[in-house]
Amino acid sequence: MTYLQSAVLGVVQGATEFLPVSSSGHLVLVPRLLGWPDQGLAFDAAIHVGTLAALILYFRSELWRMLTGVDRRLAVLLIAATIPGGVAGALFEKTISAKLRDPIVIASMLIGWGLVMWLADRHAARVARPVQEPREMTWGAAMGVGVAQAIALVPGTSRSGITITAGLFSGLSRTAAARFAFLLGIPITGAAGLLKLLALLRHGGDVPVGPLLTGVIVSCVSGLAAVWFLVKFLERRSLLPFVVYRCALGVVVLAVFGR
Protein backbone atom coordinates (compact mmCIF):
# COMPACT_ATOMS: atom_id res chain seq x y z
CA MET A 1 0.00 0.00 0.00
CA THR A 2 1.28 3.45 -0.93
CA TYR A 3 1.04 6.65 1.11
CA LEU A 4 -1.46 8.04 -1.41
CA GLN A 5 -3.71 5.00 -1.10
CA SER A 6 -3.59 5.09 2.71
CA ALA A 7 -4.35 8.82 2.77
CA VAL A 8 -7.30 8.48 0.37
CA LEU A 9 -8.75 5.53 2.26
CA GLY A 10 -8.18 7.35 5.56
CA VAL A 11 -10.21 10.30 4.31
CA VAL A 12 -12.91 7.98 2.99
CA GLN A 13 -13.15 6.11 6.31
CA GLY A 14 -12.99 9.19 8.51
CA ALA A 15 -15.59 11.16 6.59
CA THR A 16 -18.04 8.40 5.68
CA GLU A 17 -17.91 6.72 9.11
CA PHE A 18 -19.80 9.69 10.52
CA LEU A 19 -21.64 11.22 7.58
CA PRO A 20 -24.81 9.18 6.88
CA VAL A 21 -23.53 7.73 3.60
CA SER A 22 -21.99 4.33 4.60
CA SER A 23 -18.28 3.94 5.32
CA SER A 24 -18.26 0.19 4.64
CA GLY A 25 -19.86 0.75 1.26
CA HIS A 26 -17.35 3.41 0.27
CA LEU A 27 -14.40 1.33 1.48
CA VAL A 28 -15.55 -1.49 -0.81
CA LEU A 29 -16.39 0.74 -3.78
CA VAL A 30 -13.43 3.15 -3.82
CA PRO A 31 -10.67 0.51 -4.22
CA ARG A 32 -12.73 -1.29 -6.88
CA LEU A 33 -13.34 1.88 -8.86
CA LEU A 34 -9.66 2.88 -8.64
CA GLY A 35 -8.35 -0.61 -9.36
CA TRP A 36 -6.54 -0.91 -6.01
CA PRO A 37 -6.09 -4.21 -4.16
CA ASP A 38 -8.02 -4.87 -0.96
CA GLN A 39 -6.50 -2.78 1.83
CA GLY A 40 -6.33 -5.75 4.21
CA LEU A 41 -7.00 -6.44 7.87
CA ALA A 42 -4.10 -4.36 9.23
CA PHE A 43 -5.29 -1.18 7.55
CA ASP A 44 -8.91 -1.77 8.61
CA ALA A 45 -7.79 -2.09 12.24
CA ALA A 46 -5.66 1.04 12.00
CA ILE A 47 -8.34 3.32 10.59
CA HIS A 48 -10.84 2.14 13.20
CA VAL A 49 -8.36 3.39 15.81
CA GLY A 50 -8.28 6.73 14.00
CA THR A 51 -12.06 7.16 13.91
CA LEU A 52 -12.36 6.06 17.54
CA ALA A 53 -9.82 8.73 18.50
CA ALA A 54 -11.89 11.32 16.62
CA LEU A 55 -15.02 10.45 18.62
CA ILE A 56 -13.16 10.52 21.94
CA LEU A 57 -11.64 13.92 21.16
CA TYR A 58 -14.94 15.47 20.10
CA PHE A 59 -17.03 14.06 22.95
CA ARG A 60 -14.37 14.25 25.67
CA SER A 61 -16.57 16.47 27.90
CA GLU A 62 -19.58 14.16 27.67
CA LEU A 63 -17.41 11.10 28.25
CA TRP A 64 -15.85 12.67 31.33
CA ARG A 65 -19.28 13.50 32.78
CA MET A 66 -20.39 9.91 32.23
CA LEU A 67 -17.21 8.44 33.70
CA THR A 68 -17.49 10.62 36.82
CA GLY A 69 -21.17 9.78 37.33
CA VAL A 70 -22.49 13.25 36.55
CA ASP A 71 -24.41 11.98 33.52
CA ARG A 72 -25.14 8.46 34.70
CA ARG A 73 -28.47 8.11 32.89
CA LEU A 74 -26.91 8.78 29.48
CA ALA A 75 -24.16 6.27 30.23
CA VAL A 76 -26.70 3.55 31.08
CA LEU A 77 -28.77 4.36 27.98
CA LEU A 78 -25.69 3.99 25.80
CA ILE A 79 -24.67 0.70 27.43
CA ALA A 80 -28.15 -0.74 26.91
CA ALA A 81 -28.38 0.50 23.31
CA THR A 82 -24.98 -1.03 22.50
CA ILE A 83 -26.12 -4.58 23.31
CA PRO A 84 -28.18 -5.33 20.13
CA GLY A 85 -25.38 -4.23 17.80
CA GLY A 86 -22.76 -6.05 19.85
CA VAL A 87 -24.71 -9.32 19.82
CA ALA A 88 -25.49 -9.04 16.10
CA GLY A 89 -21.85 -8.27 15.32
CA ALA A 90 -20.59 -11.25 17.31
CA LEU A 91 -23.05 -13.62 15.63
CA PHE A 92 -23.26 -12.39 12.05
CA GLU A 93 -20.38 -10.02 11.19
CA LYS A 94 -18.22 -12.67 9.50
CA THR A 95 -21.13 -14.07 7.49
CA ILE A 96 -22.29 -10.66 6.36
CA SER A 97 -18.76 -9.57 5.42
CA ALA A 98 -18.27 -12.72 3.36
CA LYS A 99 -21.61 -12.75 1.55
CA LEU A 100 -22.88 -9.17 1.32
CA ARG A 101 -19.81 -7.14 0.30
CA ASP A 102 -21.28 -6.84 -3.16
CA PRO A 103 -21.78 -3.59 -5.14
CA ILE A 104 -25.41 -4.44 -5.95
CA VAL A 105 -26.22 -5.00 -2.26
CA ILE A 106 -24.43 -1.77 -1.37
CA ALA A 107 -26.34 0.19 -4.02
CA SER A 108 -29.66 -1.23 -2.84
CA MET A 109 -28.94 -0.31 0.77
CA LEU A 110 -27.75 3.17 -0.18
CA ILE A 111 -30.99 3.90 -2.01
CA GLY A 112 -33.42 2.01 0.24
CA TRP A 113 -32.19 3.33 3.58
CA GLY A 114 -31.62 6.75 2.03
CA LEU A 115 -35.34 6.96 1.28
CA VAL A 116 -36.17 5.81 4.83
CA MET A 117 -33.86 8.53 6.16
CA TRP A 118 -35.77 11.06 4.06
CA LEU A 119 -39.07 9.92 5.62
CA ALA A 120 -37.53 10.22 9.09
CA ASP A 121 -36.28 13.71 8.31
CA ARG A 122 -39.77 14.76 7.17
CA HIS A 123 -41.22 13.24 10.35
CA ALA A 124 -38.74 15.21 12.48
CA ALA A 125 -39.79 18.46 10.82
CA ARG A 126 -43.39 17.87 11.95
CA VAL A 127 -42.60 17.08 15.62
CA ALA A 128 -43.74 20.06 17.72
CA ARG A 129 -41.38 19.53 20.67
CA PRO A 130 -38.51 17.22 19.76
CA VAL A 131 -36.19 15.91 22.47
CA GLN A 132 -33.16 18.22 22.52
CA GLU A 133 -30.76 16.23 24.73
CA PRO A 134 -29.83 12.55 24.31
CA ARG A 135 -30.02 11.99 28.08
CA GLU A 136 -33.75 12.89 27.96
CA MET A 137 -34.73 10.17 25.47
CA THR A 138 -36.86 7.25 26.62
CA TRP A 139 -35.59 3.72 27.16
CA GLY A 140 -37.69 2.53 24.24
CA ALA A 141 -36.15 5.14 21.95
CA ALA A 142 -32.63 4.22 23.03
CA MET A 143 -33.22 0.51 22.42
CA GLY A 144 -34.81 1.28 19.05
CA VAL A 145 -31.64 3.11 18.02
CA GLY A 146 -29.60 0.18 19.33
CA VAL A 147 -31.55 -2.33 17.23
CA ALA A 148 -31.15 -0.07 14.19
CA GLN A 149 -27.39 -0.07 14.75
CA ALA A 150 -27.38 -3.86 14.39
CA ILE A 151 -28.82 -3.55 10.87
CA ALA A 152 -25.84 -1.37 9.91
CA LEU A 153 -23.71 -4.51 9.62
CA VAL A 154 -25.01 -4.77 6.05
CA PRO A 155 -22.65 -2.74 3.79
CA GLY A 156 -24.27 0.34 2.30
CA THR A 157 -26.64 0.89 5.23
CA SER A 158 -24.52 3.44 7.18
CA ARG A 159 -24.28 3.06 10.95
CA SER A 160 -24.62 6.79 11.57
CA GLY A 161 -27.38 7.09 8.97
CA ILE A 162 -29.62 4.35 10.33
CA THR A 163 -29.11 5.30 13.98
CA ILE A 164 -29.88 8.96 13.25
CA THR A 165 -32.95 7.78 11.32
CA ALA A 166 -34.15 5.72 14.28
CA GLY A 167 -33.55 8.66 16.60
CA LEU A 168 -35.61 10.97 14.42
CA PHE A 169 -38.51 8.51 14.28
CA SER A 170 -38.28 8.34 18.11
CA GLY A 171 -38.84 12.08 18.49
CA LEU A 172 -35.30 13.36 18.88
CA SER A 173 -34.20 16.59 17.24
CA ARG A 174 -31.74 16.26 14.37
CA THR A 175 -28.77 17.34 16.50
CA ALA A 176 -29.77 15.15 19.46
CA ALA A 177 -30.18 12.15 17.14
CA ALA A 178 -26.74 12.79 15.63
CA ARG A 179 -25.04 13.21 19.01
CA PHE A 180 -26.58 10.02 20.41
CA ALA A 181 -25.65 8.14 17.24
CA PHE A 182 -22.03 9.29 17.50
CA LEU A 183 -21.77 8.51 21.22
CA LEU A 184 -23.24 5.07 20.53
CA GLY A 185 -20.53 4.61 17.93
CA ILE A 186 -17.72 4.79 20.50
CA PRO A 187 -18.10 1.28 22.01
CA ILE A 188 -18.96 -0.28 18.63
CA THR A 189 -16.03 1.38 16.85
CA GLY A 190 -13.70 0.46 19.70
CA ALA A 191 -14.89 -3.17 19.71
CA ALA A 192 -14.57 -3.46 15.92
CA GLY A 193 -11.04 -2.08 16.03
CA LEU A 194 -10.09 -4.43 18.87
CA LEU A 195 -11.45 -7.50 17.08
CA LYS A 196 -9.60 -6.59 13.89
CA LEU A 197 -6.42 -5.98 15.90
CA LEU A 198 -6.71 -9.39 17.60
CA ALA A 199 -7.24 -11.06 14.22
CA LEU A 200 -4.21 -9.18 12.91
CA LEU A 201 -2.06 -10.43 15.78
CA ARG A 202 -3.17 -14.00 15.06
CA HIS A 203 -2.71 -13.92 11.29
CA GLY A 204 -0.17 -11.14 10.77
CA GLY A 205 -0.21 -8.23 8.32
CA ASP A 206 2.02 -6.81 5.64
CA VAL A 207 1.20 -3.08 5.50
CA PRO A 208 4.32 -0.92 6.09
CA VAL A 209 4.31 1.19 9.25
CA GLY A 210 4.46 4.52 7.39
CA PRO A 211 1.25 4.08 5.35
CA LEU A 212 -0.42 2.49 8.37
CA LEU A 213 0.26 5.55 10.55
CA THR A 214 -0.81 7.81 7.70
CA GLY A 215 -4.16 6.04 7.58
CA VAL A 216 -4.63 6.43 11.34
CA ILE A 217 -3.83 10.15 11.38
CA VAL A 218 -5.85 10.99 8.27
CA SER A 219 -8.90 9.01 9.41
CA CYS A 220 -8.76 10.74 12.81
CA VAL A 221 -8.51 14.25 11.36
CA SER A 222 -11.14 13.69 8.67
CA GLY A 223 -13.42 11.95 11.17
CA LEU A 224 -13.17 14.82 13.63
CA ALA A 225 -14.01 17.27 10.85
CA ALA A 226 -16.98 15.13 9.74
CA VAL A 227 -18.47 14.94 13.25
CA TRP A 228 -18.10 18.68 13.78
CA PHE A 229 -19.56 19.43 10.36
CA LEU A 230 -22.63 17.19 10.68
CA VAL A 231 -23.58 18.38 14.18
CA LYS A 232 -23.32 22.02 13.08
CA PHE A 233 -25.06 21.32 9.77
CA LEU A 234 -28.07 19.67 11.40
CA GLU A 235 -28.59 22.61 13.76
CA ARG A 236 -30.09 24.53 10.81
CA ARG A 237 -30.54 22.13 7.90
CA SER A 238 -32.12 18.82 7.00
CA LEU A 239 -30.66 15.49 5.87
CA LEU A 240 -31.95 15.92 2.32
CA PRO A 241 -28.48 16.52 0.73
CA PHE A 242 -27.29 13.18 2.11
CA VAL A 243 -30.44 11.45 0.87
CA VAL A 244 -29.82 12.82 -2.63
CA TYR A 245 -26.16 11.79 -2.50
CA ARG A 246 -27.00 8.24 -1.37
CA CYS A 247 -29.60 7.75 -4.08
CA ALA A 248 -27.38 9.24 -6.79
CA LEU A 249 -24.41 7.08 -5.76
CA GLY A 250 -26.63 4.01 -5.63
CA VAL A 251 -27.83 4.64 -9.17
CA VAL A 252 -24.24 5.11 -10.39
CA VAL A 253 -23.13 1.88 -8.72
CA LEU A 254 -26.02 -0.03 -10.28
CA ALA A 255 -25.12 1.40 -13.70
CA VAL A 256 -21.42 0.49 -13.35
CA PHE A 257 -21.64 -2.91 -11.64
CA GLY A 258 -25.12 -4.08 -12.58
CA ARG A 259 -24.30 -5.08 -16.14
Note the pLDDT tens digit of each residue in 124-160.
999 999 999 999 999 999 999 999 999 988 888 989 9
CB 226 within 8 A of CB 18: yes
Domain edges within the chain: 3-257
Query: Distance (Å, rounded) from C-alpha 216 to C-alpha 37?
Result: 19
Q: Residue 61's pLDDT is what?
A: 95
Q: How far is CA 58 from the centre of its chain?
A: 15
> Within a 10 A sphere around the Cβ of 100, how many other Cβ atoms?
19
The pLDDT tens digits for 181-201 are 999 989 887 877 777 666 666
The pLDDT tens digits for 35-68 are 887 666 667 777 888 889 999 999 999 999 999 9
CB 219 within 8 A of CB 86: no
Tell me the three state secondary structure of residue 172. Answer: strand
3-state secondary structure 115-165: HHHHHHHHHHHHCCCCECCHHHCCHHHHHHHHHHHHHCCCCCCCHHHHHHH
Query: Distance (Å, rounded) from C-alpha 5 to C-alpha 150?
Result: 30
